[in-house]
Amino acid sequence: MDFPQFLIQLLNSVQYGLLLFMLAAGLTLIFGIMGVVNLAHGSFYMLGAYLAWSLSTAFGSLTLAILVGAALAVAFGLALEWLLFRHFYKRSHLDQVLLTFGLIYIFEELRSIIWGDDVHGVTIPALLSASIPLTENLSYPVYRLFMSGVCIALAVGLYLLISKTRLGMKIRAGAFNRDMAESLGVNIKLIHATVFALGVGLATVAGMIASPVASVYPNMGSQVLIMCFVVVVIGGIGSVRGALIAALLVGLVDTFGKVLLPSMAGMLVYMLMAAVLLWKPEGLFKA
């Protein structure tokens, strides 16, 4: 591998890492603040992709589809929190896992009923459909760079929201000591509903933004779910900063693993996770 080649692969890793971060951010948020293990997180990603496909076909514009889809997703998240998750915050992790595992099946079946089992593609908006030539026969799609940009914006936004705003302060207080925060007048129920809807919104938006490059197909959520959990565990459960570092790390290991050690590519990410857990059993950053 020569130097330009190395740089391109580095770009690939960062870009993949940022995408993983966008997916894992919602998971780690819900995990860290409400203590809910949400196995259905991948389903929201799939939901986003299918929404992007059907709405962009209906409206003829992916941008409009993403805006409408995001609003729908947040509403859906609020409804789901109010109907189901609200009653599970104080239950054991096993109950939560059973609930969210069941939801995976329900969402898959609903997807099959509403949208069918076909594979679909979403067209990249004309503005972003160009490619930038890197070498004589490799170009880099502008849309991938755009995705990375969105992910960076999201990371910064989340950081500001959680550490600089009043809402963020309440969220942190609620996660640290629920009863104390409540007795100081923080409406924890509302905070939880907001965070949950935000988490669902993040996963759905990730699915919508990724849909033009990922294609839209059944079961696509279950494939990303495992990687999301790896990222969350490496980063430290509940830590958004940890998730970002971990996602970049996983992107790096996965990309270079595939190129340099192809026979072990499937294992390397998990070996990284095992190594991190041996070194720091609570993950890189404690929330």
Partner 1 sequence: MTSRRLVLTRSAAIVGAASTGLLLPEIVRAQAARVRVGLMLPYTGTFAQLGVAIENGFRMAINEQGGKLGGREIEYFKVDDESDPSKGIENANKLVLRDKVDVIVGTVHSGVQMGIQKVARDTGVLSLIPNAGVHAATRSLCAPNVFRTSFSNSQPTRALGKVMVDKGHKKAVWITWKYAAGDEAFEGFKEGYTAAGGSIVKELGLPFPQVEFQALLTEIAALKPDAVACFFAGGGAAKFIRDYAAAGLKDKIPLYGSGFLTEGVLDAAGPAADGIITTMHYSDSLDTPRNKNFRLEYAKAFRSQPDVYAVQGYDSGLLLVKGANAVRGDLANKATLHKSMQGAVIDSPRGKWTMSPSHNPIQDIYVRRVENKENKVIGVAAKALADSGAGCKMA
Q: How many CA atoms lie within 13 A of 38 on its CB side?
A: 37
Among 3, 113, 118, 279, binds partner 1 (CB under 8 A): 118
* Region near partner 1 per CB under 8 A, out of 30-38, 72-80, 117-125, 232-240: 117-125
Among 165, 167, 219, 261, binds partner 1 (CB under 8 A): 219
| Residue 219 DSSP one-character state | T
Nearest Cα residue to 47 out of 207, 219, 202: 207
Q: Where are the alpha helices (DSSP H) in the chain?
A: 3-34, 41-59, 62-83, 93-115, 142-164, 166-176, 178-183, 188-214, 220-235, 240-260, 265-279
- 57 is an interface residue for partner 1 by CB under 8 A: no
Structure tokens at 156: 């910064």
The nearer residue to partner 1, 94 or 113, going by C-beta atoms, is 113
- 215 is an interface residue for partner 1 by CB under 8 A: yes
Structure tokens at 274: 């095992």
* Region near partner 1 per CB under 8 A, out of 13-21, 33-41, 78-86, 190-198: 13-21
Among 21, 50, 88, 143, binds partner 1 (CB under 8 A): 143
* Region near partner 1 per CB under 8 A, out of 54-62, 165-173, 252-260, 278-286: 252-260
Integer Rg of the chain from CA: 19
- 254 is an interface residue for partner 1 by CB under 8 A: yes
Give yes or no for a contact between 8 and 15, defined as CB atoms under 8 angstroms apart. Answer: no
| Whole-angstrom distance, CA of residue 206 vs CA of residue 201 | 8
- 213 is an interface residue for partner 1 by CB under 8 A: yes
* Region near partner 1 per CB under 8 A, out of 90-98, 164-172, 188-196, 211-219: 211-219
Name 209's Cβ contacts closer than 8 Å, sequence gap at least 6: 22, 52, 66, 147, 150
User: Which residues are bridge partners to 133 per DSSP?
Assistant: 139
The amino acid present at 110, given as its one-letter code, is: L
- 229 is an interface residue for partner 1 by CB under 8 A: no
Structure tokens at 36: 């809910």
Among 58, 71, 79, 121, binds partner 1 (CB under 8 A): 121
The nearer residue to partner 1, 95 or 109, going by C-beta atoms, is 109
Among 34, 74, 214, 272, binds partner 1 (CB under 8 A): 214
Least CB distance from residue 100 to partner 1, whole Å? 19
Mark 187-206 with x for binding to partner 1 (rule: CB under 8 A) and - for no binding. --------------------
- 86 is an interface residue for partner 1 by CB under 8 A: no
DSSP-derived secondary structure for 160-194: HHHHHSHHHHHHHHHHH-HHHHHHTT--HHHHHHH
- 15 is an interface residue for partner 1 by CB under 8 A: yes
- For binding to partner 1 (CB under 8 A), which residues are involved? 1, 5, 8-9, 12-13, 15-16, 108-109, 112, 117-121, 123, 131, 133, 135, 137-141, 143-144, 213-220, 223, 254-256, 258-259, 262, 265-266
